[in-house]
Amino acid sequence: MKIVSILILWAQILPLSAQNIHQLKLILEASNQAQATQRQFYLAGNFNQWNPKDSSSEFYLQSNKKWVCNLNLRSGNYQFKITKGSWGSVECFADGSSIQNHEINLLKDTTIIIRPEAFSDEVTLKEIQHTLSAQVHILDSTFYMPQLHRYRRIWIYLPKDYQNVARKYPVIYMQDGQNLFDKATSSYGEWGVDEVLDSLSLKNVAESIIVGIDHGGEFRLNEYHPYDNDRFGKGQGDAYVDFVVQTLKPYVDKNFRTLAQAKYTSIVGSSMGGLISMYAIAKYPNVFGNAGVFSPSFWIAPKLYDFVHQQKNYQLRIYFVAGAHESEDMAGDMEKMYQLLLKDGLPKENMKLAIKADGKHSEWFWHREFPDFYKWLVKIYPAE
């Protein structure tokens, strides 16, 4: 017992470098008057679940027009952006277009100076070009979510021949609707789902209806988290998934020509959206038969493994994809879920595990990987 105590004490007094932990010092220098008068900036990255208002990653004012954020992190690859406290006020180029994530392979104490050209709340939307195709419509800008007592914008993509052919279509429900179709509504790049499906339809790939659900801004992390968390607060994932199943899907099935069976109903998301998509298909296997789990944040919800293990649903189809450069545990946690499902009896042919060497936690990566997911998905679609 004394030996264990001594070891613990020894680990506590080791210098950070000996524990493989390094200091990352971010210095933010204002590039315009709007930034100079701003009082709060935050760092959001793959080290804090991309929380845009994480108090532990807040900058402090060091001097006139200069702010500092100090983090102690383990060696590894990190990506991040600076925000003013929300994804509606994330750093961007001067014309309002999205920037790529800042990246660093942290191997020693490091100082980085950043001079943001602008933040998205400083740029009017009219300066940003809309990119959504003619197949995308706003189903409702204030769709009521009774399970959460909130309202949310809902998007819908209808196949090109929807108005001309009396056919029913499979449906894919996707998280983070702001980032799916339109550059003007995305704070950090879009998936381009509409362009992907428009292009695939020209190659006679089966078509689908896509329903995009906007994330809740400051509520995003909690709505996409099924469990309470000491750091991030009360999980609202159950209520969110219940909204999709009990309120949104019945509305869509009633008002559009859908193949409503689980076999033809999919749920898709990335990061926290990937986490809640995995939870949704485990909780409601009779509603969702397929899931696209992109770069899932399984680390924040370790209880999910036990929950999935208890369900033992053998007919599900799940597509897992992540990049090797996303975070220290991202790919490993995803593969752990894949192996758990295999062990529980889900046939290997019902799943796909893709870990891409150049993959990063970014919309461009998910955009690139979406066509492969979609072509894998439609193998079960009925023949024309």
* Contact (CB, 8 A) for 209 and 169: yes
**The pLDDT of residue 263:** 95
In whole angstroms, what is the distance from residue 276 CA to residue 310 CA?
A: 17
Q: Which residues contact 179 (CB under 8 A, 6 or more apart)?
A: 185, 186, 187, 188, 189, 190, 191, 363
Model confidence, pTM: 0.77
Q: For residue 98, give the DSSP letter.
A: B
Q: For residue 102, give the DSSP letter.
A: E
**The pLDDT of residue 278:** 98
Please report, in tens digits, the pLDDT of each residue of the chain (384 residues total): 444 444 444 445 555 555 688 888 888 887 777 777 777 899 988 788 788 888 888 998 887 788 899 989 888 778 888 999 887 788 888 877 778 788 888 888 888 889 888 888 887 655 567 888 899 999 999 999 999 999 999 999 999 889 888 899 999 999 999 999 988 888 677 899 999 999 998 888 899 999 999 999 889 999 999 999 887 789 999 999 999 999 999 999 999 999 999 999 999 999 999 999 999 999 999 999 999 999 999 999 999 999 999 887 778 999 999 998 787 788 899 999 999 999 999 999 999 999 998 888 888 899 999 999 999 999 887 655
**Residue type for 265, please?**
T
Kindly write down the DSSP assignment for every residue of 51-95, as one continuous string: -TT-GGGB-EEEETTEEEEEEEEESEEEEEEEESSSGGGBEE-TT
Q: How many whole angstroms from its chain centre is CA 322?
A: 11
Domains and CATH numbers, the chain: 20-125 (2.60.40.10), 129-380 (3.40.50.1820)
Cα angle at 257 between 251 and 260, to 5 degrees? Answer: 65
Coil, strand or helix at 8: helix
**The pLDDT of residue 21:** 86
* Contact (CB, 8 A) for 59 and 42: yes
What are the tokens at 359? Answer: 């993959």
**Residue type for 178, please?**
Q
CA nearest to 265, candidates 294, 285, 246:
285
**Cα–Cα separations (whole angstroms), residue 11 to 7, 75, 86, 106, 316:** 6, 17, 37, 21, 45
Q: Which residues contact 371 (CB under 8 A, 6 or more apart)?
A: 196, 200
Q: For residue 361, give the DSSP letter.
A: S
**The pLDDT of residue 128:** 64
